[in-house]
Amino acid sequence: DTAVSQTPKYLVTQMGNDKSIKCEQNLGHDTMYWYKQDSKKFLKIMFSYNNKELIINETVPNRFSPKSPDKAHLNLHINSLELGDSAVYFCASSQDDGGGKLFFGSGTQLSVL
């Protein structure tokens, strides 16, 4: 049983398209996150949700919109994709008192052509 699963694993698309990445966790955690990892392996937080409520929204373009239908799911929708959006996107979850102990999904490699 995969604890944090995200789909798709690979996403190749053209500039200007709209795409979504889905994430689900079966750990019973209340907090979920989206992280972006660039080509230099730098991992940066984009959003965090606690029990469906947005907690952290780093300086991310408005084209990125997270949606949490319930506390086990956090999806990421990206409008008008740009070349610079190419990266690996990771979903993660933690307990409220996890203090930074995150459980990550296996990532979605997004390539914008």
Interacting residues toward other proteins by CB under 8 A:
4, 31, 33, 40-45, 48, 50, 55-56, 90, 92, 94, 96, 98-107
User: Shortest distance, CB of residue 92 to other proteins, whole angstroms?
Assistant: 7
CB nearer other proteins, residue 15 or residue 56: 56
Three-state DSSP state, 85? helix
CB nearer other proteins, residue 39 or residue 62: 39
User: Shortest distance, CB of residue 2 to other proteins, whole angstroms?
Assistant: 11
Q: Which of 5, 1, 8 is nearest to 74 (CA)?
A: 5
User: Shortest distance, CB of residue 1 to other proteins, whole angstroms?
Assistant: 16
Positions of E strands within 2-107: 4-7, 10-13, 19-25, 31-37, 43-50, 53-57, 64-70, 73-78, 87-94, 103-104
CB nearer other proteins, residue 16 or residue 98: 98
Q: How many CA atoms lie within 13 A of 70 on its CB side?
A: 5
